[in-house]
Structure 1
Amino acid sequence: MEEAIALLDEEGAGWLTMRRLAERLGTGSTTLYWHVKTKDDVLDLALDAIFAAVEIPRVDSQGWRAAITALIGGWHAVLLEHPWSAALLGRPMLGPNVLARSEFLYATLLKAGVAEPHLTAAAYSLSNYVIGSALMQATWTAGDEPATRAAAARDHFRANHDRYPVLATHGPLVVDSDWDTSFAFGLTWLLDGIEAICRAP
């Protein structure tokens, strides 16, 4: 799986083929098919493999908010380290590494007092936030043009200030580089909302 992940990191999921992976491994496609049936199987295995790097925190030593913050932060870091991964997370994720971390997230939310119908909504909100944030950052910062794109966005808002006055002043497309701070703020707001639900009578 290391070679598959390396190939994905270098070239992205769109360029992955069984033939190219077999060539990288120094074997034939037929031999590769003895181990995995399709390209989708390779992607599923690669996605699960990278999640092994996301450490599962200890809730008892730090409390549920800190534990979830650590889990989501680790998840976010892994997605950014492997930019191809975030766009694929709409796939059914049934590998042991992913499921262990999902189990931890749900169990920690339950222990914090989040019950259905809020449990699934809370878990989905956190999952969707980390995936969307990583996908946005990976896409926006890809290549050598993020500063050019940001400048073009600012110019467009300035030119259309009368039509989009709020966006011209606070527009989301003018984010330059402080992605970590923005991500941390957003996660804090989500956790504040979850905590408020837990405290509600």
Structure 2
Amino acid sequence: MDNVWSRSQKAPRQTLTLERIVAEAVALLDDEGVGRLTMRRLAERLDTGSTTLYWHVKTKDDVLDLAMDEVFGEVRLDDLIDLIDLMDLTDPAGAGTGGVHGADGVGGGAHGVGGAGGAGAGAGGAARVTGVTGATGASGAGGVSGAGGDWRAPVRGLMRRWRAALLRHPWSATLLDRPLMGPNALRRTEFLYETLTVAGFAAPKTAAYSLSNYVMGSVIMQVTWERSGDTDTGAFLRERADRYPALAEHGLEHDWDATFEEGLGYLLEGMARSRA
């Protein structure tokens, strides 16, 4: 007998959510790159129609912005926030006097907006650092070392983790010219500004600009270089050593991790000396 009661019931299709859309968009970008991302292609991977997709996002740019912010959500902050409370502000590498209150913000999920603490510290006063509880994602290679109460430890950890997250998703290097205004990106930028403020930088925006552009520039250079394939620049330069003796000696190839670490050390050391 064939009737509605005799036929096996199909499992209901999973409801499409913004979280599913973003997760699939990141997976598509990881697999196929920015050039293959279209609303139709994304809808196919989600096993839905483009019309349904447009209920949640209006344009491809919306999807790219959400995917980029998801990448920033992989940058853990919880243990870095703890380092702020260990900062010795009487040390020359620290910032004069004053203490640091505990984290007072409220973190959200992958797309939530975290609470923002105050960003200023009066003379001899205290500053509050943005709290991010329940931070999601992996830290990758962005561990923290040398955390002895030095403001450089949380900054170094943030820069390492930011770079690692971008390199896990090489397509992100092509989108770094977009305004990074998502809640995850802003929460991490807020953390950087407040850390630098607590450390005593009168112009945290300038210091943060230098650090963030160093990270983005290093990622763009590495991704671009690696996509170009094997190029023996060393042989080319050695053949022209009379014109480019320094380049012939040192070359243009990099141990990318070591070069990044050394360059970041130069930058942080110069910042420490300038504010001391």
Give the Å deviation of 1:86: 2.1
Q: Which residue of 2 aligns with 1:65?
A: 152
Q: Where in structure 2 are the equivalents of 1:1-201 lying within 5 Å?
A: 1-56=22-77, 57-58=80-81, 59-61=84-86, 62=147, 63-116=150-203, 119-142=204-227, 145=229, 148-149=230-231, 151=232, 153-171=233-251, 173-175=252-254, 178-199=255-276
Give the Å deviation of 1:16: 0.8
Amino acid in the other structure paired with 2:64: L
Amino acid in the other structure paired with 1:2: A
Higher helix share: 1
| 3-state secondary structure, aligned to 2:24 | helix
| 3-state secondary structure, aligned to 1:197 | helix
Contact 1:19–1:29 (CA under 8 A) maintained in structure 2: yes
Give the Å deviation of 1:142: 3.2
Give the Å deviation of 1:126: 0.6
Contact 1:54–1:71 (CA under 8 A) maintained in structure 2: yes
Give the Å deviation of 1:53: 1.1
Q: Distance in 2 between matches of 1:60 and 1:38?
A: 42
Contact 1:114–1:194 (CA under 8 A) maintained in structure 2: no
Give TM-score, length-normalised by structure 2.
0.66
Amino acid in the other structure paired with 2:177: G
Over residues 151-174 of structure 1, what are the superposed CA-to-partner deviations in whole Å (9 max), with x where a residue is unaligned?
2x1111011111111111123x22
Q: Distance in 1 between matches of 2:44 and 2:52?
A: 11
| 3-state secondary structure, aligned to 2:73 | helix
- Across the aligned residues of Structure 1 and Structure 2, the Cα RMSD in angstroms comes to 1.3
- Bigger CA radius of gyration: 2
Q: Distance in 2 between matches of 1:18 and 1:197?
A: 49
Q: Distance in 1 between matches of 2:47 and 2:56?
A: 15
| 3-state secondary structure, aligned to 1:97 | helix
Contact 1:49–1:97 (CA under 8 A) maintained in structure 2: yes
Give TM-score, length-normalised by structure 1.
0.89
Amino acid in the other structure paired with 1:52: G
Q: Distance in 2 between matches of 1:102 and 1:174?
A: 31
Q: Distance in 1 between matches of 2:272 and 2:234?
A: 36
Give the Å deviation of 1:141: 2.2
Q: Distance in 2 between matches of 1:10 and 1:132?
A: 23
Contact 1:4–1:46 (CA under 8 A) maintained in structure 2: yes
Over residues 80-137 of structure 1, what are the superposed CA-to-partner deviations in whole Å (9 max), with x where a residue is unaligned?
1000112212211111110000000011111111112xx2221111111111111222
Q: Distance in 1 between matches of 2:173 and 2:209?
A: 15
